[in-house]
Structures are given as C-alpha cells and as structure tokens.
C-alpha cells in the first residue's frame, strides 16, 4: 500500500477568471503552470527525497501537486504537506488550496473513487495582508501596490492586491515573441496546432480582437465561455483498476489517455470552427478562441458566440471517439468509454469572465446531475437574455443536437422579429396563435418539429440567436 497526497487549487477556473482583464487571467495561468510543473516540484522536494516524491503516474495537471509519500510518521507527513502548501501559497496568494490523502496499491487504485483518508482546506490567507484600498482588479482583497495597466492610449494606474500584482507581473501575451512569456495552456495549444498542421498559429490578445475578427457581420459582440469535463471519471478509474487486477490493461496510462483525449477533442473543436483560409495575418493563422485552462479532463475556453454550438458538438464527439480508440488499442474495448459534458454561457465580451465561468460550471454540474453523468450532455444559458442566474433549462445531448441541426439551421434563417414572436408565443404556451404565426411564416412543419421530445421551441429560438450555418 502507498499513500498519495494531492495538494490542489480549489475551483481553479473561478480563481483564474476572477479579474476583469484578460492579462490578469493569463498571468494566473502562467503562475499556476510555473508553480506546479514537474521541474518546480522536483526542485522543491530536493532534500526531502526520503519523505516524498512527485507522483509521475498522475501526469501533469495545472494546479495540482501529486505526491507519493514515503514518510510514515504523521509529523513528517504534515511537514511535507506544509512545504507544498507554503510553496503554492507563495506563488498563488489568493487561491484556496485543498490537500487530500488517498491510499492504494498504486495510484490508480488510490483514485478509484473510494472516499479519501482525509481532506484539509487551506483558504487564502487574506487576513495577513495589509489593510488598504480595495484591489482594482479582483475587487475582493486589499491592494498593496500599483501597476500601470491598459493599452497605450488608455494607460492608468491601478491599485492591486498581492494576488493580482503577481498576475500582472506574470501576464505574458499569446502573440509574444518570447515563448516563455506565453501562458502555459495557450503555448501547449499552439505547439499542438503547429505539430498537427505544420503551420504556426496565434491566439487573439484580447476579447475585442476575438469578436471583431471572428464575429458574424451585424453581431460581433458576444462570446461563449465553455467549461467541459469528463463524465464519471472516478467510475472509469475503478473499472480500470478492476481490469488490471484481472491482468488486463496493465500498461494503460489513465492520466495520459484522458489528457490526450481532452486535447485531441479541443483541437478537433477548433478545427471545425476555424475558417480554412481566412483570418490569417502575414501567413500566421489566428485561432478563433482563447484558452483559459486545459488540464486532465478540464477545459475552459472562450470563443465567438456563433461558433460555440459547432465547437461543443465536435469536441464532445471527439473526446469519446478518441478514448474509445485508445481503450480498444490497449485491449480494454469492453470498458464503458467516458463521455464529456459541457456548460456553455453566452455573454457580451465586456461582461465579467468570472460570472460567465462560474455560471458555466454551475450549468455543467446541473446537467451532469440530470443525466447522472451517464452520458454526454450540454447545459447552456445566455446571460444577456436569461440573466446571470441559472434558469433551470434542461441540458441537451449531442445526439439530440445533431438530430435537430438541420431544423435549427432552418429556424435560424427566420428574421429576428419572427423568432422573437415565436419565442413569446411558445413561452405563453398559446398553441393556437403559435400555429397561426407559424402558418403565416409558411413554416408550420418546421415549428411543429420543436417539442419536448426534441428541443422545446422556446429553447431552440434561444439557441439560434447565436447560430452559424456550416457547410
Ligand atoms: Zn486583486
């Protein structure tokens, strides 16, 4: 039996997106990568080799430090825990941390979904910070320093808290010439794109650039922030462990397989919504997306609203397809292949990213609950039209979305006022007038096809507000 200690950032996407400026989010991505990358952890553990080692089997996930403990006495274990917590606290002063101890024959067995031996929370130690004016970025903590922010013409001095000061100092730019200044997640994405397409790409620097370059004519103001993760991953681990105890799949690397499937799916989603030849600056293609976090089975990205449905559908399909192949190749074709679920929030590009990403997480949890994580599903909401609090709209499966794709495209061709009328009648459930209106539009059959067995009409009208026809 071995003991495994994970020290991880709690609700990482919420911490990442806490600041309004994309530079602050990029700074946070870079901080989290540097704080938890294997080289950093190996050097942190120098001199502690008798007590703990970095657990390579867990793979690398931004924001998680996975250790295998060698020390057996409680006191030494707590010293190891405090060493790691202290290290993360220094790098990520405003993040809340949690340490979890699990036990098992190996890493997989320890992560098979059984309850942890113990868990301990380490909230951000804000009380130790000097009292002062509130931070201009996160509006949460007292500021204790100043930085010049904003573009050249609009430069202003802002008061920042210790967490945001570090974000500022670590904020590179994805289009930066210096690779080391590009945040880890986006650097990984660009490397992967380069490898697969044999051509360099870049990522838009700011949300306005993203929507201006890729938004639809007439409406290029909205983004979708998409939060995805794998369904029933611990059940998957349990099943793999069972197979391993029967002598099957001993070589199968679960962490790597999930990580690969996640990246492969993300890339497929981007390919599906990136125009093949347009959007290139001096020969370098700009990707229609900003990546906030990709690690393990988690994905948090923002992209222009009209591209989101296609992106999500392709990503969900590919995640499952990619894992299915890896499992089959490893002789584990009989295992239930994990799926990926999505929370998707449409919002104005200038509205707070934190509101969108927190809501996306909430919708993701809600749809997973509704479908009991037994299949892929997607929960969505439009902050501009539905408000920022969950409205309780049910999730949709990729199968339903695919089945209704043609009808949704037809629906999207009706004018804005016709759609608004249909939505109003659907909401009041006035069947007679709805029928008359549909008849007037000459789309009775189309309108009738949207119902509770497919997609309710009111939801469908909301979906096609951000729709794009793909050939
Ligand atoms: Zn702050």
What would be the CATH architecture of the domain defined by 2-125? 2-Layer Sandwich (3.30)
Stretch (H or E) spanning 26: helix 22-36
| Sequence-separated (6 or more) residues with CB below 8 Å from residue 209 | none
How many other CB atoms are there within 10 angstroms of residue 374's CB atom?
12
Interval between CA 91 and ligand 1 midpoint (Å): 14
pLDDT reported for residue 315: 98
Q: Which residue has the tokens 């392709």?
A: 314
pLDDT reported for residue 113: 75
Mean pLDDT of the chain: 90
Interval between CA 160 and ligand 1 midpoint (Å): 5
Interval between CA 24 and ligand 1 midpoint (Å): 9
Decide which of 173 and 361 is more confident. 361
H helices then E strands: how many in the chain?
Answer: 18, 15
| Sequence-separated (6 or more) residues with CB below 8 Å from residue 380 | 343, 344, 345, 346, 363, 393, 395, 396, 463
Closest CA to 16 of 279, 275, 290: 290
Mean pLDDT to the nearest integer, 448-462 = 92
| Sequence-separated (6 or more) residues with CB below 8 Å from residue 436 | none
Long-range contacts formed by 197-202: CB under 8 A, 24+ apart: 199/285, 200/284, 200/285, 201/284, 201/285, 201/286, 201/287, 202/174, 202/175, 202/281, 202/284, 202/285, 202/286, 202/287
| Sequence-separated (6 or more) residues with CB below 8 Å from residue 250 | 244
Interval between CA 64 and ligand 1 midpoint (Å): 22
Interval between CA 73 and ligand 1 midpoint (Å): 39
Checking if the pLDDT of 126 tops 90, the result is: no
Is residue 104 within 8 A of residue 110, CB to CB? The reply is yes
Q: What are the extents of the domains in the chain?
A: 2-125, 179-396, 398-471
Interval between CA 47 and ligand 1 midpoint (Å): 34
pLDDT reported for residue 282: 66
User: pLDDT for 109-120, tens place per residue?
Assistant: 898 778 899 999
Checking if the pLDDT of 253 tops 80, the result is: yes
Mean pLDDT to the nearest integer, 93-117 = 90
Lowest-confidence segment of 93-107, 163-177, 221-235, 302-316 by average pLDDT: 163-177
Is residue 62 within 8 A of residue 32, CB to CB? The reply is yes
Long-range contacts formed by 241-250: CB under 8 A, 24+ apart: 241/108, 241/109, 241/112, 243/332, 243/335, 244/108, 248/331, 248/332, 249/330, 249/331, 249/332
Give the model's confidence band at 179: pLDDT under 50 very low, under 70 low, under 90 confident, else very high.
Answer: very low
Checking if the pLDDT of 335 tops 80, the result is: yes
DSSP string across 208-224: HHHHHHHSBTTB--EEE
Q: How far is CA 305 from CA 85, 279, 312, in A?
A: 39, 17, 11
Interval between CA 197 and ligand 1 midpoint (Å): 39
pLDDT reported for residue 298: 94
Residues with CB under 5 A from ligand 1 (ion): 135, 137-138, 161, 164
Checking if the pLDDT of 69 tops 60, the result is: yes
Mean pLDDT to the nearest integer, 18-23 = 83
Interval between CA 124 and ligand 1 midpoint (Å): 12
Pure H helices in 50-206:
74-91, 107-110, 162-170, 184-197
Checking if the pLDDT of 261 tops 80, the result is: yes
pLDDT reported for residue 154: 77
Mode of pairing for the β-strands spanning 284-286 and 280-281? antiparallel
Mean pLDDT to the nearest integer, 444-458 = 91
pLDDT reported for residue 264: 97
Query: CA–CA separation, 69 vs 391, rounded Å?
Result: 45
What 3-state class would DSSP assign to 160? strand
Mean pLDDT to the nearest integer, 339-355 = 94
Mean pLDDT to the nearest integer, 177-204 = 81
Checking if the pLDDT of 230 tops 90, the result is: yes
Mean pLDDT to the nearest integer, 397-405 = 96
pLDDT reported for residue 429: 83
Is residue 16 within 8 A of residue 293, CB to CB? The reply is yes
Q: How far is CA 240 from CA 107, 243, 245, 338, in A?
A: 12, 5, 9, 12
pLDDT reported for residue 322: 97
Interval between CA 144 and ligand 1 midpoint (Å): 9
Interval between CA 141 and ligand 1 midpoint (Å): 6
Interval between CA 85 and ligand 1 midpoint (Å): 20
pLDDT reported for residue 181: 54
Checking if the pLDDT of 311 tops 70, the result is: yes
Stretch (H or E) spanning 226: strand 222-230
Domain spanning 179-396: which CATH class is it, in words? alpha beta
- The count of residues in the chain is 471
Checking if the pLDDT of 388 tops 60, the result is: yes
| Sequence-separated (6 or more) residues with CB below 8 Å from residue 130 | 142, 144
Sheet holding 222-230, edge to edge: 290-295, 298-304, 222-230, 340-348, 378-382
Query: CA–CA separation, 157 vs 170, rounded Å?
Result: 17
What 3-state class would DSSP assign to 381? strand
Q: How far is CA 17 from CA 70, 164, 277, in A?
A: 36, 11, 32
Is residue 288 within 8 A of residue 215, CB to CB? The reply is no
Interval between CA 247 and ligand 1 midpoint (Å): 51
Interval between CA 343 and ligand 1 midpoint (Å): 26
How many other CB atoms are there within 10 angstroms of residue 205's CB atom?
18
Checking if the pLDDT of 175 tops 70, the result is: no
pLDDT reported for residue 281: 58
- 161: phi then psi, degrees, rounded to nearest 5: -80, 170
CB crowding 260-291: b at 16 or more within 10 Å, else e: ebbbbbbbbbbbbbbeeeeeeeeeebbbbbbb
Interval between CA 261 and ligand 1 midpoint (Å): 34
């Amino acid at each position: 039996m071995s003991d495994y200690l994970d020290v991880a950032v709690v609700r990482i996407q919420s911490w990442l997106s806490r600041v309004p400026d994309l530079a602050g989010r990029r700074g946070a991505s870079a901080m989290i990568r540097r704080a938890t990358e294997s080289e950093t952890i190996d050097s942190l553990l120098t001199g502690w080799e008798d007590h703990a080692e970095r657990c390579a089997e867990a793979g690398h996930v931004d924001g998680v430090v996975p250790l295998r403990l060698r020390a057996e006495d409680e006191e030494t274990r707590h010293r190891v825990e405090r060493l790691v917590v202290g290290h993360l606290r220094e790098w990520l002063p405003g993040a809340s941390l949690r340490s979890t101890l699990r036990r098992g024959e190996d890493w997989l067995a320890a992560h098979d979904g059984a309850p942890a031996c113990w868990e301990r929370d380490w909230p951000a130690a804000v009380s130790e910070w000097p009292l002062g004016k509130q931070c201009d970025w996160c509006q949460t903590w007292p500021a204790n320093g100043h930085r010049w922010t904003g573009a050249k013409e609009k430069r202003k001095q802002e008061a920042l808290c210790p967490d945001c000061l570090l974000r500022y100092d670590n904020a590179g730019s994805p289009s930066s010439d210096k690779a080391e200044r590009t945040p880890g997640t986006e650097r990984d994405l660009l490397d992967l794109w380069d490898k697969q397409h044999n051509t360099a790409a870049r990522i838009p620097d700011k949300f306005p650039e993203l929507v201006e370059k890729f938004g639809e004519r007439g409406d290029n103001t909205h983004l979708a922030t998409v939060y995805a993760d794998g369904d029933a991953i611990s059940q998957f681990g349990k099943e793999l462990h069972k197979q391993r105890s029967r002598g099957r799949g001993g070589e199968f690397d679960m962490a790597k397989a999930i990580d690969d499937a996640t990246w492969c799916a993300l890339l497929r989603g981007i390919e599906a919504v990136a125009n093949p030849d347009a959007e290139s600056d001096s020969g370098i293609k700009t990707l229609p997306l900003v990546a906030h976090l990709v690690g393990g089975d988690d994905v948090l990205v923002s992209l222009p609203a009209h591209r989101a449905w296609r992106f999500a559908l392709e990503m969900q399909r590919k995640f499952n397809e990619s894992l299915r192949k890896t499992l089959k190749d490893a002789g584990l074709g009989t295992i239930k292949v994990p799926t990926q679920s999505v929370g998707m929030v449409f919002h104005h590009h200038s509205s707070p990213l934190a509101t969108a990403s927190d809501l996306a997480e909430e919708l993701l949890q809600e749809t997973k609950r509704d479908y009991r994580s037994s299949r892929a599903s997607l929960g969505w909401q439009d902050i501009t039209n539905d408000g920022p609090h969950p409205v309780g709209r049910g999730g949709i499966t990729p199968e339903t979305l695919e089945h209704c794709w043609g009808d949704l495209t037809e629906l999207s061709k009706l004018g804005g006022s016709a759609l608004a009328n249909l939505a109003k009648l659907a909401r009041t459930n006035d069947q007679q007038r709805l029928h008359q209106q549909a008849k007037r539009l000459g789309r009775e059959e189309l309108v009738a096809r949207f119902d509770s067995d497919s997609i309710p009409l009111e939801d469908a009208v909301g979906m096609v507000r951000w729709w794009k026809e793909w050939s």
